[in-house]
Amino acid sequence: MTALAPALIILTPGGATLATRLKSVLPGALVFARRGRVAEADIFFDDFTAQVQAAFLDGRPVVGLCAAGTLIRALAPLIADKRAEPPVVAVAEDGSAVVPLLGGHRGANELAKAIAQALGVEAAVTTAGDRRFGLALDAPPAGWRLGNPEHYKGFTAALLGGRGLRLEGEAPWLADSSLPFDEDGALTIQATERLGTPAPDCLVYHPASVCLGVGCERHADAPELEELVRATLAEAGLSRLAIAGVFSIDVKSDEAAVLHLADSLGVPARFFDAATLEAETPRLARPSDLVFREVGCHGVAEGAALAAAGPEGKLVVAKTKSQRATCAIALAPEVVDATAVGRGRGTLAVVGTGPGDPLWRTPEVEAAVLRASDLVGYGLYLDLLGPLAVGKARHGYELGEEEKRVHVALDLAAEGRAVALVCSGDPGIYAMATLVFELLECGDRADWQRVGVTVMPGVSALQAAAARAGAPLGHDFCTISLSDLLTPWTAIERRVRAAAEGDFVIAFYNPVSKRRRRQLADAVAILRQHRPDDTPVVLARNLGRPGESVTAVDLAELTPDMVDMLTVVLVGSSETRRVARGDGGTWVYTPRGYAAKQGSYAGKAKATSEDAA
């Protein structure tokens, strides 16, 4: 899994100046700023505590350019397990002090040292191991895992107390440290891909050099594959903590059992094409002509393990089988970065960014955009992402090129990329999500079918319009698009008539265009046959953007000249009401019937009002 970029959280203009300096030493860092305090930031927030906690819970390194106490108070309710917390560093606004607060052995100390070096100061690192030996034994470098963290505290206490230390195995990061190695030491550190002998006086570190190749029948049970792997590792005496990744052929990139196995092991799932695996045939222990006929290579499990381990890797466990699954194990001569071999399962996030204002973007959508390698969408929608789009491959298209957008998004995802297909409003309401699934159904593309698709909701234009106006959607409502580009007008007219007869509040999308002027007028004529002329109609234009306007008119007054393609039209039902506002404006709402409920406040208030009249 790719590490999340650090969050530089600032509260003042001074902090913003310092953040600009720090971005040069923290590539990809995002600046989060309190709204109204500074002019520029990647993401603005209103609630400091909520923003800091959200970044912390996401596992994102937090660098607060503020007082240490401010960060501590914000995160205090969340502090529980030091082995799970992300790095948290406090930096004085003038750059005079850098203090790692949390996650010292999960990267905070190193992060603090990098920041301090850039600022020309010394990081206030307080952890004893770091101070004495220059490294943290409970935070090994990338590609290494501590097998018995429960013994770390006592082991370190003994080490700091002066006991000698022996190293068994090869681990350059340990050998090159200031640890007091002694061949006769009473303490031991083992560096091995095997299980080792963990004990209070023996820490065991596992290098991620074990490459696990797997294959299975379509829709094989996840427990079967997991049990096969567990038994194979146990028989070979290998530690699951030494597994660099789960590797297979690309046609298995959507196989639930394979993906579940990788998740359960906490490692990436990576995939190779058949040609890459076929190139490993001379090194296979058990090549199969049957497998070649089925998928184009002579071995999936063995081939994938060897391809991941590299040309110097050795097959240490030949293909083993269960009823519907296979696995094999290769050992690389050094740590393997699984994210750099093969490719991951491609993902497509179909995201809705809301009507326009960044405040209406959900955290889920922002996280998906930040994770994406590629952004696809209408050019204006990509522009509205602002700093969130920086550093992403951008694929912008014009209006009318909707099908091309989806084709490109699916093609990119099929290549193993993380793609965000960007829509305004909600992607499932007159937007791109429907077209994605239509092409998946009709496209006859096996590689598209293997893509992991997620639809992430956004604030729709009808929700935003209703919120600005009051509560016109408080009772039953429907949405109707008046565009007849894809739907015959006869079908649209039938729906308008049915909604009018059913007395639904109606949200009209695409009400007019330069060439379409009569549809809205025809719809109004139908509605006036079924509800009063003074029925409130909300016209909401440019929601969440400069020039936003929200007005209420009577149904009888509504004409196409009042509306354009940037306008959402909400037509009330026969029950929709107006309420005068103190500023001279009007709220619009549709009651649900509380006034008819016996003993309700609304009912009493209505009765009092009628008596007074």
CATH of the domain at 292: 3.30.420.180
Nearest to 467 by CA among 355, 557, 563: 355
- Show the 3-state SS of 538-564: EEEECCCCCCCEEEEEEHHHCCHHHCC
Q: Could you read off the pLDDT of 121-135 as tens digits, one per residue?
A: 888 876 655 556 667
Position 445 pLDDT exceeds 90:
yes
Nearest to 212 by CA among 243, 184, 242: 243
* pLDDT for 515: 80
What's the pTM value of the predicted model, to 2 decimals?
0.78
Average pLDDT over residues 244-269: 96
H or E stretch covering 571: strand 567-571
How large is the C-alpha radius of gyration of the chain? 31
Assess if residue 608 is contained within a domain.
no
Tokens for 367, please give them: 């996280």
H or E stretch covering 10: strand 7-10
Average pLDDT over residues 374-386: 91
Quote the percentage of the chain above a pLDDT of 70.
94
Q: Which residue has the higher pLDDT, 23 or 410?
A: 410
* pLDDT for 532: 95
How would residue 544 be classed by pLDDT, with cut points 50, 70 and 90?
confident
The domain that contains 523 carries what CATH number?
3.30.950.10
- Other beta carbons within 10 angstroms of residue 90's beta carbon come to 23
* pLDDT for 1: 37
For 151-186, letters b (16+ CB in 10 Å) and e give: bbeebbebbeeeebbebebebeebeeeebeeeeebe
What are the beta bridge partners of residue 419? 348, 374
The count of domains in the chain is 4
Assess if residue 139 is contained within a domain.
no
Same domain, 472 and 397: no
Q: Which residue has the higher pLDDT, 514 or 100?
A: 100
Assess if residue 390 is contained within a domain.
yes
Same domain, 455 and 466: no
Same domain, 302 and 396: no
- Amino acid symbol at 439: L
Average pLDDT over residues 296-304: 97
Assess if residue 188 is contained within a domain.
no
- Other beta carbons within 10 angstroms of residue 388's beta carbon come to 24
How would residue 601 be classed by pLDDT, with cut points 50, 70 and 90?
low
Same domain, 467 and 590: yes
- Amino acid symbol at 307: A
Query: How far from the centroid of its chain's Cα atoms is residue 232's Cα?
Result: 34
Assess if residue 145 is contained within a domain.
no
Q: Could you read off the pLDDT of 491-505 as tens digits, one per residue?
A: 999 999 999 999 999
Tokens for 386, please give them: 């602002």
Average pLDDT over residues 205-209: 97
Residue 155 near residue 137, CB atoms below 8 Å: yes
Position 337 pLDDT exceeds 60:
yes
Average pLDDT over residues 103-114: 80
- Cα–Cα distance measured from residue 213 to residue 495, given in angstroms and rounded to the nearest whole number: 55
What are the beta bridge partners of residue 321? 326
Tokens for 86, please give them: 């992300």
171-176-182 Cα angle (round to 5) = 85
Assess if residue 255 is contained within a domain.
yes
234-243, 295-304, 512-521, 557-566: least confidently modelled range: 512-521
118-122, 127-131, 459-463, 504-508: least confidently modelled range: 127-131
How buried is 514 (Cβ within 10 angstroms: 0-12 exposed, 13-18 middle, 19+ buried)?
exposed
Residue 413 near residue 346, CB atoms below 8 Å: yes
Tokens for 326, please give them: 């296979």
Q: Could you read off the pLDDT of 470-494 as tens digits, one per residue?
A: 999 999 999 999 999 889 999 999 9
Which residue's structure tokens are 């930031």? 41
Which residue's structure tokens are 């850098």? 98
Same domain, 95 and 22: yes
How buried is 425 (Cβ within 10 angstroms: 0-12 exposed, 13-18 middle, 19+ buried)?
buried
Assess if residue 508 is contained within a domain.
yes
Tokens for 261, please give them: 């196995």
- Cα–Cα distance measured from residue 351 to residue 424, given in angstroms and rounded to the nearest whole number: 8
Q: Which residue has the higher pLDDT, 362 or 278?
A: 278
Cα atoms found within 13 Å of the Cα of residue 195, Cβ hemisphere only: 7
* pLDDT for 77: 85
Residue 594 near residue 607, CB atoms below 8 Å: no
Same domain, 410 and 315: no
Position 107 pLDDT exceeds 90:
no
- Cα–Cα distance measured from residue 170 to residue 212, given in angstroms and rounded to the nearest whole number: 22
Same domain, 306 and 236: yes
Position 611 pLDDT exceeds 70:
no
Instruction: Write the Ramachandran bin of 169: left for phi over 0, alpha for psi from -120 to 50, otherwise beta.
Output: left
The residue among 401, 426, 459 that closes a domain is: 459
Same domain, 323 and 375: no
Quote the percentage of the chain above a pLDDT of 90.
63
Domain that holds residue 283: 210-340
Residue 249 near residue 288, CB atoms below 8 Å: no
Assess if residue 142 is contained within a domain.
no
Q: Which long-range contacts (CB under 8 A, 24 or more apart) does 490-494 make?
A: 492/519, 493/522, 493/523, 493/526
- Cα–Cα distance measured from residue 610 to residue 421, given in angstroms and rounded to the nearest whole number: 53
* pLDDT for 84: 66
Position 285 pLDDT exceeds 70:
yes
Query: How far from the centroid of its chain's Cα atoms is residue 241's Cα?
Result: 26
* pLDDT for 85: 81
419 DSSP 8-state letter? E
The residue among 310, 340, 370 that closes a domain is: 340
The domain that contains 389 carries what CATH number?
3.40.1010.10
Residue 434 near residue 487, CB atoms below 8 Å: no
Which residue's structure tokens are 């729709």? 460
The domain that contains 59 carries what CATH number?
3.40.50.11220
Instruction: Write the Ramachandran bin of 171: left for phi over 0, alpha for psi from -120 to 50, otherwise beta.
Output: beta
Q: Could you read off the pLDDT of 136-195 as tens digits, one per residue?
A: 787 788 899 999 989 988 888 888 888 889 999 999 999 888 888 888 889 999 999 999
- Cα–Cα distance measured from residue 531 to residue 39, given in angstroms and rounded to the nearest whole number: 49
* pLDDT for 20: 87
Same domain, 378 and 470: no
Helix (H, G, I), strand (E, B) or coil at 319: strand
Same domain, 258 and 310: yes
- Other beta carbons within 10 angstroms of residue 125's beta carbon come to 19
The residue among 100, 126, 152 that closes a domain is: 126
Average pLDDT over residues 290-305: 96
- Cα–Cα distance measured from residue 364 to residue 382, given in angstroms and rounded to the nearest whole number: 17
**Strand locations in 347-487, DSSP E?**
347-352, 374-378, 393-397, 418-423, 452-456, 470-471, 477-481
Average pLDDT over the chain, rounded to an integer: 90
Average pLDDT over residues 20-27: 85
- Cα–Cα distance measured from residue 279 to residue 299, given in angstroms and rounded to the nearest whole number: 10
* pLDDT for 482: 94
Residue 374's alpha-carbon distances to 222, 409, 412, 415, 416, in angstroms, are 31, 8, 8, 11, 11
Q: Which residue has the higher pLDDT, 238 or 60?
A: 238
Same domain, 466 and 585: yes
Residue 589 near residue 519, CB atoms below 8 Å: no
H or E stretch covering 43: strand 43-45
- Cα–Cα distance measured from residue 424 to residue 137, given in angstroms and rounded to the nearest whole number: 48
How would residue 453 be classed by pLDDT, with cut points 50, 70 and 90?
very high
Same domain, 329 and 357: no
**Strand locations in 133-242, DSSP E?**
144-146, 165-168, 187-191, 202-207, 210-216
Nearest to 205 by CA among 150, 245, 147: 147
